Amino acid sequence: MGELIYFEADAEAEEILKALRDNGACVILNLMNDDLKFRIVDELQPFIESTPDGKDDFTGKQTGRTGALIARSEASRELVMHLTITDLANQFLEPYTDKIQLHLTQIIDIRPGQGAQPRHRDRLAWGGYLPDEIEPQFNTLWALTDFTKENGATRVVPGSVSWPADRRALDEETVQATMPAGSVLLYSGSIIHGGGQNCSELNRTGINITYCLGWLRTEENQYLSCPPDIARELDHDLQEMLGYTMGTYALGYYSDPEGVNDINDLRPPEFVLGRSPRKNGNMAALITD
């Protein structure tokens, strides 16, 4: 059975990245401070409580999944842009992209009686069409409650990132990512994993924030979950993480359906937020000149 490596919050980035590349997952202990954790829970608890259970075994018939966290929680925005995490995500994915983007935000609330989720690879969101040598995702699962073996701590299969697609994991090859509240599980899109079985009397609550290559379609449609009237008020770095910027030289422009722009009809996404793009040499800058 492979090993799940645990790091302290001040660990060197290169050590964390090596664990991710070799094993596909690791844990950073106590990275989220109590103040941020309490604010996130306070802002999102009403949404968590009103979220219905899933409709199938994969989403979990006794599991609530709550999205649109950027629009619903100011504190969640801080977690999305946590500098330690965004730096790691950029370094982990930079061999395959010019920039990264937010893939999804989701509270995962595993309730008592929920069985184990089928093991899977998140990269299959793109249907298995991406070449194996391209890693599409950098994922985080932050513990808002303690994650224990009894309450459904996420199960991961260390080392499975290098397995062939048809190899299935055995129970003895699977370890649970137990960790105290405030800690974060990091895992790639290629590792085999799944939610655990909750045999306790308490909910296991985590916040799933994932990042992906800037040229891929995202699992959560951020333009609908966080539309321009909300995104307009956000920090510019967060706007761009949401996808309100060009993905590459020519990826992501739009034309105003209500009229032709007097400079150019090909407009970068920043225009819908009432600002010009940063000058970075790509099409987003060129088409404003």
What pLDDT score was predicted for residue 1?
60
Say whether both 66 and 188 belong to one domain: yes
pLDDT tens, residue by residue, 203-224: 999 999 999 999 999 999 999 9
Q: Specify if 93 maps to a domain.
A: yes
Query: Across-strand partners of 102?
Result: 211
Q: Which of 88, 32, 80, 24 is nearest to 231 (CA)?
A: 80
Say whether both 97 and 148 belong to one domain: yes
pLDDT tens, residue by residue, 234-278: 999 999 999 999 998 889 999 988 888 666 788 899 999 999 998
Say whether both 187 and 48 belong to one domain: yes
4 close to 76: Cβ distance less than 8 angstroms: no
287 close to 251: Cβ distance less than 8 angstroms: no
Alpha-carbon dihedral of residues 66, 70, 74, 77, nearest 10 degrees? Answer: 110
Q: Specify if 243 maps to a domain.
A: no
- Place 151 in a pLDDT band, splitting at 50, 70 and 90: very high
Say whether both 277 and 179 belong to one domain: no
The range of the structural domain enclosing residue 282 comes to 251-289
What pLDDT score was predicted for residue 284?
45
Say whether both 37 and 176 belong to one domain: yes
Cα separation of 147 and 157, whole Å?
A: 17
Say whether both 152 and 268 belong to one domain: no
What average pLDDT is seen over the chain?
A: 94
**pLDDT at position 283 over 70:** no
104 close to 220: Cβ distance less than 8 angstroms: yes
Q: Specify if 246 maps to a domain.
A: no
Say whether both 177 and 274 belong to one domain: no
204 close to 151: Cβ distance less than 8 angstroms: yes
Q: Specify if 232 maps to a domain.
A: no
Percent of the chain topping pLDDT 70: 95
**Domain containing 53 — which CATH number?**
2.60.120.620
Mean pLDDT of 113-139: 96
What pLDDT score was predicted for residue 63?
98
Say whether both 93 and 31 belong to one domain: yes
What pLDDT score was predicted for residue 282?
52
Cα separation of 248 and 214, whole Å?
A: 8
Mean pLDDT of 89-109: 97
Q: Which of 289, 211, 285 is nearest to 248 (CA)?
A: 285
Mean pLDDT of 72-84: 98
Q: Specify if 233 maps to a domain.
A: no
121 close to 191: Cβ distance less than 8 angstroms: yes
Measured CA distances, 97 to 135, 165, 222 (Å):
10, 23, 19
Say whether both 181 and 282 belong to one domain: no
Q: Specify if 228 maps to a domain.
A: no
Cα separation of 260 and 258, whole Å?
A: 7
Say whether both 113 and 174 belong to one domain: yes
Those residues with Cβ within 8 angstroms of residue 17's Cβ, 6 or more apart along the chain or in another chain:
88, 91, 92
Say whether both 155 and 284 belong to one domain: no
DSSP for 240-260 reads HHTT-S-SSTTSS-B--TT--
Picking from 79-93, 149-163, 267-281, which range would have the lowest pLDDT averaged per residue? Answer: 267-281
Counted domains in the chain: 2
Cα separation of 233 and 239, whole Å?
A: 9
Mean pLDDT of 107-116: 98
**pLDDT at position 280 over 80:** no
**H-assigned helices in 56-164:** 69-72, 74-80, 83-93
- Place 64 in a pLDDT band, splitting at 50, 70 and 90: very high
Domain boundary pick from 222, 243, 262: 222
Say whether both 280 and 173 belong to one domain: no
- Place 289 in a pLDDT band, splitting at 50, 70 and 90: very low
